[in-house]
Structure 1
């Protein structure tokens, strides 16, 4: 068995999103790069992605998911503020360019 895979039969423990998302992303990136199978396990990358998603879904359903994702509570306000800052930079730049001979 590859070192990245462990026997957890019958074991229900807490699962952190970050720990599970990293391998999902790694296998997805390998697929995007044209690799169909994991070189260590010889399993399809899709199988690893499905297993990772299943772990997250199971932990969420069991109430054992540790949601350690980054959170931005004021996301809409942050985006609006960044757009205001951008407008403050883009409009003066456009005016300067228009004023050039």
Structure 2
């Protein structure tokens, strides 16, 4: 797959993950509002559940991580859904790649 297409689709995957995260926060806010209405309490503000500055930075980071992972793996990606999945799993995938050590280095660390 072309690297530019892979990057774009990786960003779509990262965006989907962010959309699910924002939806979870909105659903928690909705539940808290229903509970507050039921108990006759003050309604919680949306800003208790969403922080535009922090959430925007995380969203941009997820998009960039999705694009980066897809570009790194673009020669291995065979289809659209695969590229989106790589983008969606980018934070975990890149953390795993960063944590992997070559076998020789691992052997040196365990040899007394």
Give the shorter-chain TM-score range: under 0.3
Higher RCO, 1 vs 2 (CA within 8 Å, ≥6 residues apart): 2
TM-score normalized by the length of structure 1:
0.26
Greater helix percent: which structure? 2
TM-score normalized by the length of structure 2:
0.24
Structure exhibiting the larger radius of gyration computed from Cα positions: 1
